[in-house]
Amino acid sequence: MRLRRVDPAPAGGQFFFEGRPVPFREGDSVASALMAAGIATFRATPVTGAARAPYCLMGVCYDCLVRIDGADNQRACMTPCGEGLRVERQAGVAGSPGSDERGAR
Ligand code: FES
């Protein structure tokens, strides 16, 4: 049996992760595009600062929280890519003890 090769989705554009351009394909979530670009650490925990990466990729674990266009606590796995989005790592959960209103510690 021969497996058919699946062509990748067409290029969708690019957004920016902490100023670095990141290409994406049509249908990508922010999380999938970041991981495809080799970026695995999306946030740090509020108490220990431990690095977190996407885990469930279906909106349940919240380990993929990032700031998108200035809005904190966005789940990267549930956010479709868009041309020119500005995505940043987040420290903790914005509004949680030990973080300022931006999520920074
Ligand atoms: S990876 Fe679990 S909510 Fe996004």
pLDDT one-digit tens code per residue, 37-70:
999 999 998 889 899 999 999 999 999 999 999 9
Q: Kindly give the distance from the C-alpha atom of residue 63 to the centroid of ligand 1, in angstroms, as a whole number.
A: 5
Residues with CB under 6 A from ligand 1: 54-57, 59-64, 75, 77
Residue 78's nearest CA partner among 66, 70, 95, 89 is 66
Q: What are phi and psi of 41, to 5 degrees?
A: -100, 120
Q: Kindly give the distance from the C-alpha atom of residue 10 to the centroid of ligand 1, in angstroms, as a whole number.
A: 24
Q: For the structural domain made of 11-91, what CATH number should be given?
A: 3.10.20.440
What's the predicted TM-score (pTM) here?
A: 0.83
pLDDT mean over 19-27: 96
Q: Kindly give the distance from the C-alpha atom of residue 60 to the centroid of ligand 1, in angstroms, as a whole number.
A: 5
**Distance between CA atoms of residues 99 and 5, nearest Å:** 47
Specify the range with the lowest mean pLDDT, choosing from 16-25, 38-47, 96-105.
Answer: 96-105
